[in-house]
Amino acid sequence: MKKTILLAAAAAVCSSVAFAGADAVAKCGDNEIRLYAAPLSYEVLKGGKTLVEKTQIGVCLDGKCLAKDARVASVASKTLSGTVEPPCGKKASVDLAGFETLADFGDFAVRLVARNDGVAYRIELKKAGVVKCEKADVTIPKAARCWFNRTPRSSLGCEETVPEFADASALRTDKGKAFYLPLAYTVEGKTVAVTESGLNDYPALYFGDVEQGERGARLSSLFAKYPKATTRVGGWGKEKGLKTGGRWVRVTETEDFIAKAAAPRALPWRTFILADSPSKLCEADIVYALAEPAAPGADFSWVRPGKVAWDWWNAFDNKGTEKGCTTEGYKRFIDFAAKSGVEYVIFDEGWSEALNIWKYSPRVDVPYLIEYGRKKGVGIILWMAWAQMYGEEERVAEHFAKLGAVGFKVDFMDRADAEVTAFLERCAAACARHRLLVDYHGVYRPVGLHRKYPNIVNYEGIHGLEQMKWAPAGKDMAHNDVAAFFLRLTAGQMDYTPGAMDNYPIGAYKGTGRNPGSVGTRCHQMALMALYEAPLQMLSDSPTKYEKNMECFSFMAATPVTWDATVGLGGCPETFAAAARKAKDGSWYAAAITNRDARDFELKTCFLGEGEWKAEIFRDAATADAEPAKYVHETKTVNAGDALKLHMASGGGFVVKFSK
């Protein structure tokens, strides 16, 4: 049975009018998702242009394929409204407006949502059972240009590779690799980013095999199987079979299914950000808007975003572990943070002995340092591998909260199965009860959990600046940085860890593990502070180097980490990235970075409010191609709508602060 529903008040903007034989539709403005039965399938359109070709979907519960011969029993629709104010993020408020359609198939349902920034669907189960598999494929039109990352299929959950580009017609199956999200492409002048939202005890979505067809490239969904047996691993591939602690919890045997459903439940949202240009992807909120909200009455007013002085990347002020990871060494970091207005210091690996968080290193007096930091107004965040916390989330959170720590950097999950997803929520919940921040490192991209638990202030899932500690001389990080803005950052906040003061030309990198640097210009690094969203933003370099470069450091340290507005200003993954963000005090920051190609950019200031503004500019010097650390610091007076002409060197960038 097919039903057509018209809502008179909203039909012109958002509606569920059935088109072209569709059984259910959700439409908001130009954005539209259509659902079909027998076979169960969907397609996505924007402005009448097909951006996702008709693709079959489904789920197998307790051995039964629920999508087989499915027929619609009823269709119901409603408009969505309201706003939510994130405690920290890229906007002061997120608009929840849109249109929702629920297609009931009897044994299950499919919910469609259309918003002004994209569309989504999810399958909802009506009974408990074991989810053997979910078919969540996507078919990319043949004419599309694609931007994506891939990871080994044996390492689902480890998402730290360099972005790739290819035409949809050139995509091929690689049995050794899988595509991970967000995956973006452009077709017919429109841009799509495939993401997901609302994981709950369910594996993250990947794409494996590629089938080229007449209408496009179909990417087959791929999920990690549910763990049947695991083992703890201590060091790098050593000390397997530990009873407690360690670095990883490795899967040694899997079940023949991907998730359990102890009760009726919804599967994750399969989301599609839709934009008129790649630069507008950064403005989308669909991942956050569709995620589960915090519990009614939950208080997260204590969550305090900020900057972090970080030890590991700069080898403990470039001294190395034994010389730098000491009580005196950490006092140096705390004193530097207090003096420069940096809110936090991270104690990375080394503060505990042999990956045992219950035994401090004899070189580091952790209780003393936490109290020392507290007296100076600097919070201490403790690093730990997840194996040291797994199964003891409440005990760990309670103990270190009483000790005075303000949060954890939890690392080395490196898995994407349902067990890890459940751990991430348990850990965040335990930390929330004890008012602790959480930075998830060694983890897949964000999927909206930070809406339910705003104490999750960052995620890794990125080929970040840490890669420069072991990078070869020919490393081209600028390529990665530009593409990451349109890919990884589209999913949410990103623990890239910018701020290097030693800057090298592309192809001439000379950094080392103890003395790392960046590829590209100084202004490229400074621009990342405003360009990349990170409520907990690490300043990666050493106090010693920052003290020698205070003009740049002071600007970076003062750059906000939460914003009231975000506006995309241009570019695409293959060229450059540019955006403007409005700070809480009414000032604006505009930043841009380029790949290895130098380019001129006209910064149009239409985003500014009326009147006269002071523009404080950091831009590449004329010699920055050969001397990347060279920059120009200047101020100008501009009026809203004026254009600033700025040149970016190879691997370069700029950042401008506009204040009244």
Give the whole-angstrom CA distance, residue 179 versus residue 218: 12
Alpha helix ranges (H) inside 58-122: none
Q: Is 600 a catalytic residue?
A: no
Alpha-carbon Rg for the chain in angstroms: 24
Residue 536, C-beta contacts closer than 8 angstroms, at least 6 positions apart: 305, 306, 308, 344, 437, 439, 457, 458, 495, 561
Q: Are 345 and 386 in contact (CB under 8 A)?
A: no
Amino acid type, 589: Y
| Tokens, residue 218 | 């179909």
If DSSP states are collapsed to H, E and C, what string results for 439-491? EECCCCCCCCHHHHCCCEEEECCCCCHHHHHCCCCCCCHHHHHHHHHHCHHHH
Give the whole-angstrom CA distance, residue 48 versus residue 547: 56
Q: Are 256 and 225 in contact (CB under 8 A)?
A: yes
- For helices 522-531 and 477-486, the axis angle rounded to 10 degrees is 20
Give the whole-angstrom CA distance, residue 137 versus residue 140: 10
Q: What is the DSSP string of 381-412?
A: EEEEEGGGTTT-HHHHHHHHHHHT--EEEEE-
Q: Are 461 and 160 in contact (CB under 8 A)?
A: yes
**Helix then strand then coil, % of the chain, to nearest 5:** 20, 40, 40
Give the whole-angstrom CA distance, residue 14 versus residue 45: 14
Q: Per the residue annotation, which of 317, 343, 466, 481 is the catalytic one?
A: 466
Q: Is 411 a catalytic residue?
A: yes
Give the whole-angstrom CA distance, residue 257 versus residue 478: 40
Of 526, 559, 563, which is closest to residue 541 (Cα–Cα)? 526
Residue 380, C-beta contacts closer than 8 angstroms, at least 6 positions apart: 334, 344, 345, 346, 347, 369, 370, 373, 404, 405, 406
Q: What are the C-alpha distances in Å from 584 to residues 306, 349, 480, 536, 609?
A: 13, 34, 29, 16, 14
Per residue in 154-163, is it b (16+ CB within 10 Å) or e — as a string? eebbbbbbeb
Q: Per the residue annotation, which of 411, 417, 495, 541 is the catalytic one?
A: 411
Residue 316, C-beta contacts closer than 8 angstroms, at least 6 positions apart: 323, 324, 325, 329, 350
Q: Are 271 and 194 in contact (CB under 8 A)?
A: yes
* Residues facing residue 351 across a β-bridge: none
Give the whole-angstrom CA distance, residue 227 versus residue 576: 41
State the catalytic residues: 411, 466
